[in-house]
Amino acid sequence: MADKGKILLSVTGFDPGIWKDALEKAAPDRTVVLEPAEASDPEIDYAVVWKQPPGVLDGLPNLKAIFSIGAGVDHLFAAGNDLPDVPIVRVVAEDLTDRMSEYSVWQVLDHLRKGPLYRDQQARRVWHEDLMQPAASEVTIGILGYGNLGRDAAKKLIMLGFKVIGWSRTEKQDEAVETFAGEDGLAGFLAQSDIVVCLLPLTPATRGILSASFFAKMKPRGPLGAPILINAGRGGLQVEADILAALEEKRLGAVSLDVFQTEPLPPESPLWTHPRVTITPHAAATSMPHALVPPMVDQMDAHDRGEKLKNLVDREAGY
């Protein structure tokens, strides 16, 4: 029986039907309504959103919390509206974390083991072993954004033998990983990193960080030749023209990009055909409703019992 209140579901870019089914299964005692039809309904007490249209959360007098269906929340702030003053919960979940670490490990290994070179050789039927094959232990991976996803990727990369270092906004103490923090720590972090894996959130402070001045600080040479960039954070972190220029100048040896300034990546983008660019369509860590909805509903129930919400967004920091 649906008597615990209503959940507003507003997801753009995902199939709302699948999320609605998962919410109804996990919360049979709540009613799920799709925006915008009932967006001013006073019975709506929770909202589950991804890239909600502007204003859709404005007219809800009894909203208690907003749940993002992803780890990133820039999509919430980007809608151009003042969000209601209620807690915002983001995804921190093993399923999503594992997926992101799979992506990070996959791309790191692809660059270590010369995937782009051997794919090109295969296309040309060339049989040639590149004997300049460094061991994982000779390569330092710099995790840019040493948060929930960054720490898990680090753990798995260390298991493969890589040296890993991390960069975050606030200082960290970590036994296994040398850490750097803030703008003052960035140059020291980049000076050591052979491969940078970017898992930063997009905020006013991080927008456009992957730009010419960043590439100029990267370690110029190393066991892989030039440094490599892997970005699965957000497209707004990168300046694509600067990436292309850095590839031409050999400041960057190669890049793997999962996220783009404009998504889908426009067909005319030169990134598509660049031989040293690997592209995936924002697929590093997909949000799976069967894994993410039950903990969301558990949090709603706990909050209704007076317990504190977990995985809250710091609005001031923007993530």
Say how many CA atoms lie within 13 Å of 210 toward its Cβ. Answer: 34
32 near ligand GLV, judged by CB under 6 A: no
Binding-site size, ligand NAP (CB under 6 A): 31
Binding-site size, ligand GLV (CB under 6 A): 6
287 near ligand GLV, judged by CB under 6 A: yes
What's the closest the beta carbon of residue 138 comes to ligand NAP, in angstroms? 26
Chain positions 59 to 98 lying near ligand NAP, rule: CB under 6 A, are 70-72, 96
CB closer to ligand NAP, 140 vs 206: 206
How far are the Cα atoms of 134, 155, 205, 219, 247 from residue 194, in angstroms, in the given order? 12, 17, 24, 7, 15
Q: What letter does residue 225 receive in the DSSP assignment?
A: B
Catalytic residue check, 75: no
Farthest CA pair distance, the chain: 68
Report residue 37 CA to chain centroid gap.
Answer: 31
Distance, CA of 278 to CA of 280 (rounded, Å)? 7
Question: Are the C-beta atoms of residues 139 and 194 closer than 8 Å to each other?
Answer: yes
Q: Which of 30, 234, 251, 303 is catalytic?
A: 234
201 near ligand NAP, judged by CB under 6 A: yes
Catalytic residue check, 234: yes
Question: Are the C-beta atoms of residues 72 and 234 closer than 8 Å to each other?
Answer: yes
DSSP-based three-state secondary structure for 278: strand
Closest alpha carbon to 259 in 229, 288, 289: 229
Contact flags string 58-97 toward ligand GLV, x per CB under 6 A = ------------xxx------------------x------
149 near ligand NAP, judged by CB under 6 A: yes
Distance, CA of 222 to CA of 169 (rounded, Å)? 26
258 near ligand NAP, judged by CB under 6 A: yes
Span near ligand NAP by CB under 6 A; candidates 8-16, 40-48, 196-204, 299-307: 196-204
What, of ligand NAP, ligand GLV, none, does residue 205 touch, CB below 5 to 8 Å by kind?
Answer: ligand NAP
Site residues (vs ligand GLV, CB under 6 A): 70-72, 91, 285, 287
Residues annotated as catalytic are 234, 282
